[in-house]
Amino acid sequence: MQQYLTGGLANLERPVHNRRYPKKLKLRAVRDYRNHRLPTKEILLKYDIRGLSQLRNWVILYNNGKEPVRKRVRKMGRKVSYDEKIEIVKWVLKHNHDYKQANDWTALKDRRGKTRGRQPADREKQLLKEIRDLKAKLREREVQIAFSKKLIEISNREVKRPNDIKRFKK
């Protein structure tokens, strides 16, 4: 509800990517939180932090002597060709590290992650994919509309006259 009150319906949409905050912003927000300079909600608004749990995670890291920085993801090793994979498996088998009696070398062709983002080959599959995507977007919109209607209903419960509209507090 806090996200709706601060940013409206646009703030309820799920972001495509996680939000990144600069290191200096994180440190200033943590210091304000620890020194009780501002109430928590004002800190979230001032630094445009999406949720309280994010701020609390930064505070925990800071209290443990670590700086609240983004975690670095380790990169995978170098790319290995199909022929190199065969040589690796042969070497492992030769040295008595049994890798499930690898007789079928086609199993080494690794296609994990390669199909994501690719368009389906035929037109029918492509249209079905578009229909699924549109249905998901439509469902998301319906949920947003239902949420906003429920929020207005809750805010107007204490209204005594039909023409009297209770306003949201900001």
Per-residue pLDDT tens digits for 59-86: 888 888 877 766 666 666 778 888 888 8
Whether residue 87 sits in one domain with residue 47 = no
Q: pLDDT value at position 120? A: 62
* Cα distance between residue 147 and residue 6, in whole Å: 15
Do 3 and 14 contact (CB within 8 A), yes or no? no
Residue 43 within any structural domain of the chain: yes
Residue 149 within any structural domain of the chain: yes
Do 68 and 62 contact (CB within 8 A), yes or no? yes
Q: pLDDT value at position 169? A: 47
Interior/surface letters 9-20, b for 16+ CB within 10 angstroms, e for the rest: eeeeeeeeeeee
Whether residue 51 sits in one domain with residue 6 = yes
Whether residue 148 sits in one domain with residue 166 = yes
Q: Give residue 65's region: left, alpha or beta (phi > 0; psi -120 to 50).
A: left
DSSP state of 38: S
* Cα distance between residue 123 and residue 143, in whole Å: 30
Average pLDDT over residues 37-62: 86
Which residue range(s) make up the domain with 11? 2-63
pTM reported for the whole predicted model: 0.40
